[in-house]
Amino acid sequence: MNLTKKEWLLLVLFLALLTFPLQYLFRSFDMSTLTSWRWAFTGIGPAKIFIFLALGTVLVVPLSNADLPEKYPEIFLFVSAIVSSLPFLNTPEVLLDSARYFLQAKYLAQHGVRDFSRAWGGEIAPWTDLPLVPLLYGTVFKLFGEEKQVIAIYNSLLFAFIPVLTFFTGRLLWDRSTAYIAGILILASPYLFTQVPLMLVDVHTMFFLLLAVCVFLYMLERGGFFWSIVSSIAICLALFSKFSTLPLLSVLGIIALISMNSQPLVIIRRSSIVLALTCCFLGVIYFWKGEIILQQVHFLRTYQMAGLQRWQEGYLSAYFFQAHPFILLAALFGVYRALVNHDKKILIPGWLAFLVFILELKRVRYLLPLLPFVVLTASYGLQGIKYIQVRRFIAYSCVMSSLVIALWVYRPFLSGTSMANLKDAGRFLDTLSSEAVEVYFLPQSRSLGNTAVAVPILDLYTDKIIYQQQPWNSAEGQQRAQNVSLRFTWELKQPDSYLHNKYSGLKLPLVIIASEPISEVPIELQNKYPAAKLQRQFSKSSGVFRFQTFVSVFDRI
């Protein structure tokens, strides 16, 4: 379109203000299972959010005219990511998967890396998790203490490098301007902000996949044994962050093929060296835990792949609600622009999009690692607009919109779920004089999940020693949950650290975790605690999720 700069700015402003009403109007189409607009806006008026969005969008107009941030892109992107993630550091652990990573990290913090490496796959049940991220979390615990806040800060720092890596990758593929806008657009996903502080693997997977691609590009450009070693290590780190990176890393082959235009023999030699080094590293890993990893792969094929057909959220949720819609529109235009310009580099994100379609990855969490490549394509599309201020304004307005949604919609919604009761209860327990507490859980009334999974999450939020002798698993529960996503909650191994014999005969503050508020001690504990009285009850609930965690704390009288 042959528009003046002022006309472009007015058009973008109009579309930016129109986007939220359209999203809100069609919110019933958001099939997200965590921050769906169908329920996240319950109790929140759209008018208030629209006013915040309008003010924020107008405020970024002068920022888009400033050249200073783009002169120091690495610093600006890193600081912007840190500042944007700070308000979410107190987000409660809302996904039950956190329990697995916490238990593995706790084992490493208590026993060390050597014992962790020996126990992984045996005493430490890995489920479908690879050891890298729990090892990193455990190291953080060992260095800075077993605190939830420590994990949130560590994750935020790791997250801050993702826009910077996106910038480096974009500069290697195209140019500095494309790279900068892509780095900004990484922050245009409200869902991503809610995931940063959680004790999960998705932010790590995004970081390591992007690192592997970026370093591989550097290696192809510069060569040398140093970059070959670094590239091989980066690939191995990506592979051992999550199983899903294995097919995604095939994009490195596409990168190598595209790069052969100038010096094919050089590219083949450099790629072959990286492949050989990577195979050597993987051979060592296979010798260490190959049998266990093969068992996990078989389990993924027979359980997880079949489950993906049922545990879907859809691309509409991912790219119209959980990321700003401008990203998808700009990415589509980027594909068109690349086809017109015969730019083969578009095959890199194109290959990843093809894999997503073939593997039917329709869960937002599984799509997060691909976000850097989507925004790179979107930024390439925005380069079709000749005015740099307009390109910046589009990117900044997307980020502002996502921050408003994440801050004033997603954050209060997640803080009002029943999982927040574990955080609040943990903080309360730290005010008690006893060094330990006894934890007891009751079965779920509406969910097929095992309430035992809440015990490690409570442990993450308290400094108290957890005493818990109640068995975690039952044959009946495992049988009922064979084909559901919460099956892992019945296969968690109860850690020995919760079985403290020295507390077995003592009366401790009693914590009851249940799927409904409990005001009396369960009958099976009344002989031990005949006169215990309710001291504090934590009963937040959004009423949306079937798995509920209400917490009641009784005194030890």
Q: What secondary structure does DSSP assign to 455-508, as a single string?
A: HHHHHHT--SEEE--S----HHHHHHTTTSGGGGGGTPPPPGGG--GGGTTS--
Instruction: Tell me the HSE value of 163 on the side-chain side, using a 13 A CA sphere.
Output: 29
**Radius of gyration from C-alpha coordinates of the chain:** 25
Cα dihedral value 21, 22, 23, 24, nearest 10: 50
What residue type is assigned to position 533 of the chain? K
Both structure tokens of 381:
């599309």
Alpha carbon of 112 to those of 3, 116, 118, 409: distances in Å? 63, 6, 10, 41
Contact between 205 and 195 (Cβ < 8 Å) = no
Dmax over CA atoms of the chain, in Å, equals: 82
Contact between 16 and 401 (Cβ < 8 Å) = yes
Say if residue 5 is exposed, middle or buried (CB neighbours under 10 Å; 0-12, 13-18, 19+).
Answer: middle
Instruction: Tell me the HSE value of 431 on the side-chain side, using a 13 A CA sphere.
Output: 8
Cα dihedral value 505, 509, 514, 519, nearest 10: 110
Mean pLDDT per 10-residue interval, the chain, length 557 residues = 84 93 92 90 88 92 89 94 94 92 93 90 83 94 93 96 96 94 96 94 95 95 90 94 90 91 86 91 84 80 65 81 94 94 92 85 85 96 93 95 95 94 94 92 90 94 92 77 78 85 83 92 87 90 90 86
Cα angle, residue 327 at apex, residues 325 and 331 outer, rounded to 5°: 125
Contact between 448 and 413 (Cβ < 8 Å) = no
Q: How far apart are CA 352 and CA 347, in angstroms?
A: 8
**Token pair 């031990």 in the structure block, residue:** 528
Report pLDDT for 1: 66
Q: How far apart are CA 188 and CA 60, in angstroms?
A: 14
Residue 325 is given by DSSP the state: H
**Token pair 């962050």 in the structure block, residue:** 241
Termini Cα distance of the chain: 76
What is the pTM (predicted TM-score) of this model?
0.93
Q: How far apart are CA 295 and CA 272, in angstroms?
A: 29
Q: How far apart are CA 492 and CA 481, in angstroms?
A: 13
Dihedrals phi, psi of 322, to nearest 5 degrees: -85, -5
Could you tell me which of 203, 271, 284, 278 has the C-alpha nearest to residue 239? 278
Report pLDDT for 495: 87
Residue 311 is given by DSSP the state: S
Alpha carbon of 255 to those of 1, 169, 380: distances in Å? 32, 12, 17
Q: How far apart are CA 374 and CA 349, in angstroms?
A: 7
Dihedrals phi, psi of 341, to nearest 5 degrees: -85, 0
